[in-house]
Amino acid sequence: MITKELINQSIDYMLRHLDDEITVRDVAAHIHYSEYHFSRAFKSITGESVYAFIKHLKMDQSAIDLKLKRDKTITNIGLDYGYSASNYSTSFKLHHCKSPLKFREAANAASISNPFQPGIINHFESYDAYNSKIKIEQLGDTRVIYERVIGKYDELKEKWYQFFDTYKDYIHESTTFMERFYNDPAITSFQHCICDICASIDDDCRLDNIITIKGGKFAVYRFAGEIKDIFCTLQGVFAVWLPGSGYEMDERYGLNIYRKISKETDFVIMDLYIPIK
């Protein structure tokens, strides 16, 4: 039987090989199942075919590269993901409803539309304002219980509350709660959010859904405010601070580590961890 955990392993494999010409057969072989049975199970659990899933991951990650790797040409970014110049532009426009050039121009703007608050335009702060709140830290590896959310961004809050109830016997005062995002909510469709919600655990925990989140060097921004305002802050750090900082993101994914959560008011204190090299 192809379990949800095996599907998660297949997605991890896709994420590690976005710049390779991976096929459905490659992914199925990775979890040791036939292409037919894997494809059926994958669509049943994710609601999307394997081929379509790989394609939107490539399109979304290439858009992140357009946003962050400003010195790299559009053609070379397309080539990184297996597209010729003309095919990349056509596929990108079909997926994102604008050309790579128009997308890059919009990504360099000083403001952004907030998908969580329709009709609201958020304006970014200055580089100095963000830089004054950034610290560079080394984070150790963290062993965590995790649940992968594939679906809508705006359902994450309820997913967290379900997570707290499910794992209440493993949660204590020193537990650290974190999110690992694989998408940029300014880019990825709300329907295609991929996020791991996690809680640190003791060494003797023997649950099946345990992973180790790799540590390393991070730029850390402390956010204190309402959940609805996290989006603008995070986008500003990426759009304004990162390009001017001299740092580059490495291949690890970013983390949100919660320090305080108020269920009643939606007030949070959170450290935004950006992996850098």
Q: Which domain holds residue 184?
A: 134-275
Whether residue 116 is contained in a domain is answered as no
pLDDT tens, residue by residue, 64-111? 999 988 889 999 999 999 999 889 999 999 999 999 999 998 888 888
The separation between the first and the last C-alpha atoms of the chain, rounded to the nearest angstrom, is 40
Pairing label, strands 193-200, 142-151: antiparallel
Residues 244, 150, single domain; the answer is yes
Residues 260, 151, single domain; the answer is yes
pLDDT at 30: 95
Output the domain CATH number for residue 171. 3.20.80.10
Query: pLDDT band at residue 189, thresholds of 50, 70 and 90?
Result: confident
Q: Rounded mean pLDDT of the chain? A: 92
Per-residue pLDDT, averaged over 43-61, amounts to 93
- Residue 21 CA to residue 36 CA, distance in Å, equals 19
| Chain position carrying tokens 């939606």 | 266
Residues 214, 151, single domain; the answer is yes
- Residue 88 CA to residue 79 CA, distance in Å, equals 8
Q: What distances in angstroms separate CA 137 from CA 131, 134, 156, 219, one per listed residue?
A: 14, 10, 27, 6
Residues 104, 138, single domain; the answer is no
Residues 166, 268, single domain; the answer is yes
Looking at the structure of the chain, the number of domains it has is: 2
pLDDT at 208: 87
pLDDT at 110: 87
Q: Which of 261, 240, 277 is nearest to 70 (CA)?
A: 240
pLDDT at 178: 96
Asked whether residue 148 carries a pLDDT value surpassing 90, the answer given is: yes
Residue 251 dihedral angles phi and psi, to the nearest 5° = -85, -5
pLDDT at 135: 97
The CA R_g of the chain, rounded to the nearest whole Å, is: 19
CB 153 within 8 A of CB 116: yes
- Residue 126 CA to residue 246 CA, distance in Å, equals 16
pLDDT at 185: 85
Output the domain CATH number for residue 91. 1.10.10.60
pLDDT tens, residue by residue, 29-42? 999 999 999 999 99
pLDDT at 168: 94
pLDDT tens, residue by residue, 215-262? 999 999 999 999 888 989 999 999 999 989 999 998 889 999 999 988
pLDDT tens, residue by residue, 115-142? 778 888 999 999 999 999 999 999 999 9
Whether residue 74 is contained in a domain is answered as yes
Residues 249, 159, single domain; the answer is yes
Residues 152, 262, single domain; the answer is yes
The two structure tokens encoding residue 108: 């360099």
Count CA atoms closer than 13 A to 208's CA, side-chain side.
6
- Residue 156 CA to residue 160 CA, distance in Å, equals 6
User: Where is the domain boundary, 108, 125, 156?
Assistant: 108
The two structure tokens encoding residue 229: 């305002």
Residues 27, 141, single domain; the answer is no
